[in-house]
Structure 1
Amino acid sequence: MLAAMVTRFSPDDPLAGLTVGHHVDPAPREHWTTVDVRAAALNQHDLWSLRGVGLKPDQLPMVLGTDGAGVTPDGREVVLHAVVGGASGHGVGPDEPRSLLSERYPGTIAERVAVPTWNLVAKPSELSFVEAACVPTAWLTAYRMLFVTGRAQPGQRVLVQGAGGGVATAAIRLAAAAGLEVWVTSRDETRRARALELGAAGAVASGERLPVRVDLVVETVGAATWSHSVRSVRPGGTIVVAGATTGDPAAMEIQRVFFLEIAVLGATMGTRQDLEQLLAFLARTGVRPVVDSTVPLARVGEGLARLARGEQFGKVVAEV
């Protein structure tokens, strides 16, 4: 089968370690299902894998991809929950630590992928394969940050740091659809304007003071925005962290955190139940993932290059 793989690590030029070529088909395995992939969204996780983060040399070649939607051998249209192992243990046993597809097991940017059968979630007919493929990583993370970890309620205010990325774009759309007042930051005026089109109530330049304090901050940027997040949340408010693309902040501003009783919580992906609920939310509300662009599997390097340059607004998706 055709697949996009990490064949060597390249910390400074991640695309140099990418190979799109033949890979062996998944072998049959009890309690697992091989899915014919129709679409696979690209993520920052794929670029980190190409840099060598989270993988060892003896795991190469490793098929990239955590997001996918496709068709099972019996014709069911499904979305793949990317988390394998951990507390559930379905398909691998309860003692295996949690991992994402493309970390221990081959990922989704391929013609076929094998996953524990328990990880299959029915794709709503209202969503296309491309739209559905955007959901399991970025959109699921945003959903969990807002409504599970952050416990956001309609009428509250939320700040989303860094418009344009997959999680940020998802957070804007989901929060606005749920009745939250959304504020967004970005260095780019065009991205701020697009955030307003997606439903944000206001958009400011990165680091600019907000006219109001927010109840919740969706933080995935890290060092570049951390101080602004701490100073933008109300006393007793919450900052939910699910990434640090600009690295760890040099100063955590601990005094402000404890004096204002700010809660700092971490979130990673979401559960299978979260994914089912999110897909139902999208189907019922008409909210759809923002797709920046699509590329054929054979040219997935072009999509990853766009992601690496930070040019995308929304999700880049490989179609199979």
Structure 2
Amino acid sequence: MFAVYAKEPNADDPLSSLVVGERPDPEVPQGWVRVSMRSASLNMHDIWTLRGVGIKPDQFPMILGCDGAGVLDDGTEVVIHSVVNDPSWHGDDTLDPKRTLLTEKYQGTFAESVVVPSRNVVPKPEGMSFEEAAIMGTAWLTAYRMLFVKSGLRPGQTMLVQGASGGVATALIQLGKAAGMRVWATGRTEDKRALAERLGAHQTFESGARLPERVDAVFETVGKATWSHSVKSLKPGGIIVVSGSTSGPDPSAELQRVFFLQLRVTGSTMGSRDELRDLLSYVDLAGIRPQIGARLPLREAEQGFSDMLHGATAGKIVFTL
């Protein structure tokens, strides 16, 4: 079958490990299902896989792609949940110490078909396109958990989204606006700030700019480049919700400010299958149309990877089959 995969890990030149070609058709173990892919979306996790982060060398070659939407053999249209749990696990999917993501141990979604445990597919809302559904499982699910499960924000409060053009950030802006938050966002360029405003941000600011007032919550996916600004932007008792550090960790951490102002810092990773169901229902009921920055045929996946690697994104990059 046609697929996009990583042939080997390459920390210094990840794109040199990217292959657009053929892979064997997958077998379907008992308790698993085959999904004929219609659309899949690109995540930073796919770049990390090319670099060899979070995957053992003997797992290569590995078909890339955590997210996607497609059709089961019986014709059911589904969205894929990429967190694969140990069969004996009960509880929050994200807390399973033996959990893994697609592309870490099991082959991913950038292919004509993928096999996943039967519990890892949920019905696609009828009014949602395959392209829109394909971006829900990682970026939008991460944003949903950050905002509605972890932050404790109430409608009318003020949230700051750092790095306004990424997949999680654009989702946070749209979800926050729909939920009645006052949404502020930062962006490195005028174009990125303009995108945030089109998506519903009430105000936007240059990265690191002094804000008109402190905020109730900051949503962090950037890390070192924005961390100090995030801490300084919080009201006393406010919360930072962290789900990533694309610019690297910050060793300084501003700990004096954290304890003196009784700030709260909480981590958030992906989301559960039940939260994915709730997210799909919420987006459908609220009439939210997710921001898709680029649509490319899967055969042109290398262009999408290059754009993500160089930060040339304005929302999610979606591949179609």
TM-score normalized by the length of structure 2? 0.96
How far apart, CA to CA, are the structure 1 residues paired with 2:88 and 2:284?
Answer: 26
How far apart, CA to CA, are the structure 2 residues paired with 1:59 and 1:2?
Answer: 19
Question: For residue 141 of structure 1, what is the aligned residue in structure 2?
Answer: 142
Question: For residue 116 of structure 1, what is the aligned residue in structure 2?
Answer: 117
Question: For residue 229 of structure 2, what is the aligned residue in structure 1?
Answer: 228
**SS of residue in 1 equivalent to 2:74:** coil
Matches within 5 A, 1:278-297: 278-297=279-298
Question: Where does the alignment leave 5 or more consecutive residues of structure 1 unmatched?
Answer: none
CA contact (8 A) 1:138 1:170 kept: yes
**SS of residue in 2 equivalent to 1:200:** coil
How far apart, CA to CA, are the structure 2 residues paired with 1:218 and 1:292?
Answer: 21
Structure 1 stretch displaced more, 274-283 or 5-14: 5-14
Q: Aligned partner of 1:263: which letter? A: R
Deviation of the 1:12 alpha carbon: 2.1
How far apart, CA to CA, are the structure 1 residues paired with 2:281 and 2:96?
Answer: 31
- CA deviation digits over 1:167-220, x for unaligned, max 9? 000000000010000110111011111211111111010000110111111100
TM-score normalized by the length of structure 1? 0.96
**SS of residue in 2 equivalent to 1:234:** strand
How far apart, CA to CA, are the structure 1 residues paired with 2:192 and 2:253?
Answer: 28
Q: Aligned partner of 2:196: which letter? A: A
Deviation of the 1:229 alpha carbon: 0.3
Deviation of the 1:96 alpha carbon: 7.4
Question: For residue 44 of structure 1, what is the aligned residue in structure 2?
Answer: 44
- CA deviation digits over 1:23-70, x for unaligned, max 9? 111112111001001000001000110011111221110110100100
Question: Where does the alignment leave 5 or more consecutive residues of structure 2 unmatched?
Answer: none
How far apart, CA to CA, are the structure 2 residues paired with 1:229 and 1:154?
Answer: 21
Deviation of the 1:250 alpha carbon: 2.8
Matches within 5 A, 1:81-160: 81-86=81-86, 89=89, 97-160=98-161
**SS of residue in 2 equivalent to 1:8:** coil
Is residue 2:29 matched to residue 1:29? yes
- CA deviation digits over 1:93-150, x for unaligned, max 9? x987111111110011111000100111000011100000011000000010011011
**SS of residue in 2 equivalent to 1:313:** coil
**SS of residue in 2 equivalent to 1:182:** strand
How far apart, CA to CA, are the structure 2 residues paired with 1:197 and 1:154?
Answer: 20
**SS of residue in 1 equivalent to 2:28:** coil
How far apart, CA to CA, are the structure 2 residues paired with 1:87 and 1:253?
Answer: 41
Deviation of the 1:89 alpha carbon: 3.8
**SS of residue in 2 equivalent to 1:74:** coil
Q: Aligned partner of 1:52: which letter? A: G
